[in-house]
Amino acid sequence: MEDLIKALQILSKYTKTEYPTNCSHDLLFVDVDPELVSEDDIKTLDSLGFFVSEELDDGFSSFRFGSC
């Protein structure tokens, strides 16, 4: 749970969207443009289970945090 909270705190710095998350089956998607995110934050997000998802409108995805 702590890793999810840390990841969402990082991602929240890069979006002002009212509803930035979406779930589909086993995938949690966060609508944040990866080009806006610093390299250090991308590395940290990767260690927390989030990766850049080019298939889903260029955002961040994770399979780590359960299914929806």
pLDDT digits (tens, 9 = 90+) for 8-59: 999 999 998 899 999 988 999 999 999 999 999 999 999 999 999 877 668 9
Angle in degrees, 0-180, between the axes of helices 39-47 and 2-12, rounded to the nearest 10: 160
Whether the Cβ atoms of residue 25 and residue 68 lie closer than 8 Å to each other:
yes
pLDDT of 56 = 60
Quick one: which of 41, 48, 44, 42 has its CA closest to 1?
48
pLDDT of 65 = 87
Residue 55 lies in a domain: yes
Q: pTM value? A: 0.89
pLDDT of 46 = 97
Residue 60 has pLDDT above 80, yes or no: yes
Whether the Cβ atoms of residue 49 and residue 3 lie closer than 8 Å to each other:
yes
Residue 68 lies in a domain: no
Domain membership of residue 40 as a residue range: 2-62
Count of structural domains, the chain: 1
SS3 66: coil
